[in-house]
Amino acid sequence: MKSNTDVIVVGAGPVGLLLACELRLAGLDVVLLERRSEPVRDSRALGMHARTIETLGLRGLAPHFLERGRPFGVGHYGALETMLNFSALDSGYPFQLVIPQSLTEQLLEERARELGVRVQRDATVDETWQDDAGVHASGTVGGQRFTFSGAYLAGCDGARSAVRRQAGIAFDGVEAGTTTMLGDVQLRAPLPAPALMKVNQEGVLMIVPLGDGVHHRLIVLDARRRDVPVAEPVTLEELADGARRIAGCDYLPSQARWLSRFSDETRHAAQYRQGRIFLAGDAAHIHMPAGGQGMNVGMQDAFNLGWKMAAVVRGQAPQGLLDSYHNERHPLGAQLFRNTMAQTALLTSFDQRGLALRAEISGLLTQPEVNLKLALQISGLGIGYGAALSEPPAPVLPEWSGRRIPEMTLADGGSLHGLLHQGEWLYLRLREDAPHAVACPGRLRTVSAALAPSPDLGASQAELMAAGPRALLIRPDGYADYALA
């Protein structure tokens, strides 16, 4: 079987699904190749952070996730006693949403199929290559050979990415030093609070509800069993024993529907682009799941890449636009590497010195400005991209270039994010003396509107109104390209 397409996406996890949706929304033909024959059933990643929810809101999808998840106004950094205060964030979603990855994938796959993405399951990709004609992927599906050819290929195929390996992209980092157990179980004894986190010389214990009213996620880093190989199966007895010693009591876990073990192996791809091949998500970065960032950063990779790739394929932007994907996202992968390594050091510090260090840093988090800095990092709301990707027609307010634009209310009562639902650039003329037209690399929507004056403005909207720009050019991913002075 041979077939041509615009873009080949390998891997139908949340990252590959979101990327495929973005490409198809822009009108591209997309084939999504997934080795699993059936959707994932395990809960896997549980936390969806504020910027990811905003991202989904930029396409009108957030309500589908909010109605199925459970919001928590706090998070953690290295399981320190002082929690991160997400409720202080300048966002319409000042919380993290507890929602199983299996459900996230289900909702995104429904969206992908609705848009017309060709989802091919049971498809194992065993070879990728590039030539003057494009990029190609071959493998087997249902026992039959296939070859797909396209303009670009995105490897969203996880930590052991075949796409990354075949492209010869280095994946250096730190070998695993610690393993941690997790289990989705029922508890026969009640918790003292909706969620529980405890750290002492016996290890680390976290317990959070899965939102179905029945099951809880137990994460146990047992100081006595931290060297168990990641491939060794977890037993319910092993999980329960570690949890009991750390908690100092027994919550009687039973009826496990998923047990697993993960490590603190941390790696980062040397480059996110190799010619016509791109990497996103775990194919580009892996780490201990500290703070629940992996899936979220991966989905932000996809959201950054999708509209750029679509604009180039459609001939609306030069090839050089695709270089900005690596330039913008690779430094954030490096930041993710550092912060998860730092959290790993805190999470694995069980002796008296380590516990003293944890207590000192936990004390620092009681300072609102320190707490906010880490909350912005973990939630993804602190990300900015710096220089503009298009040429402004007049002087700009430099502090707004590359800055995230949260939801804002327009004078007519409308939603600013609602104007971005189709994945276009948005040129928002805020004053009559603004130019009537601007150029940008992609589809452009022009709207003349004012921001709504209100005593209940978010901090960013109040700051923008005080700055008084004549216009904003907003990228399809919700970041300002520039604000005209």
341-362 confidence digits (pLDDT tens): 999 999 999 899 999 999 999 9
Give the residue-averaged pLDDT of 365-382.
98
Instruction: Give the pLDDT band of residue 212 (cuts 50, 70, 90).
Output: confident
Query: Is 314 in a helix, a strand, or coil?
Result: coil
Q: What is the CA radius of gyration of the chain?
A: 23
Give the residue-averaged pLDDT of 117-131.
97
Give the residue-averaged pLDDT of 27-35.
98
Measured CA to CA in angstroms, residue 387 lies from 29, 261, 311, 455, 467 at distances of 31, 42, 19, 32, 19
Instruction: Give the pLDDT band of residue 142 (cuts 50, 70, 90).
Output: confident
pLDDT of 200 reads 96
Residues with Cβ < 8 Å from 428, sequence gap 6 or more? 416, 419, 447, 449, 471, 472, 473, 474
Q: Residue 311 and residue 151: Cα distance in Å, rounded?
A: 12
**Count of beta carbons in the 10 Å neighbourhood of residue 320:** 10
pLDDT of 116 reads 98
Q: Residue 451 and residue 412: Cα distance in Å, rounded?
A: 8
Strand order in the sheet with 179-187: 196-200, 203-209, 215-222, 179-187, 253-263
User: Does the structure show a pLDDT above 80 at 385?
Assistant: yes
pLDDT of 407 reads 95
Query: Is 11 in a helix, a strand, or coil?
Result: coil
Best CA proximity match to 290, nearest among 77, 73, 75: 77
Give the residue-averaged pLDDT of 417-433.
97
- In order of their start, the domains of the chain are 2-174+267-379 (3.50.50.60), 179-263 (3.30.70.2450), 398-484 (3.40.30.120)
Give the residue-averaged pLDDT of 191-218.
94
Best CA proximity match to 151, nearest among 29, 34, 32: 29
User: Does the structure show a pLDDT above 80 at 457?
Assistant: no
Percent of the residues in the chain that have a pLDDT greater than 70, as a whole number: 99
**How many residues are listed for the chain in this entry?**
485
Instruction: Give the pLDDT band of residue 211 (cuts 50, 70, 90).
Output: confident
- pTM for the predicted model, two decimal places: 0.97
Half-sphere exposure of 57 (CA within 13 A, CB side): 19
pLDDT of 1 reads 73
Tell me the residue type at 27: G
**CB distance 371 to 82 below 8 Å:** yes
The mean pLDDT of the chain is 96
User: Does the structure show a pLDDT above 80 at 455?
Assistant: no
Give the residue-averaged pLDDT of 247-271.
97
Query: Is 214 in a helix, a strand, or coil?
Result: coil
Give the residue-averaged pLDDT of 152-160.
98
Q: What is the CA 400 to chain-centroid distance, rounded?
A: 23
Strand order in the sheet with 70-72: 47-48, 96-98, 70-72
Judging by beta carbons within 10 Å of its beta carbon (0-12, 13-18, 19+), is residue 123 exposed, middle or buried? Answer: buried
Give the residue-averaged pLDDT of 56-79.
97
pLDDT of 143 reads 87
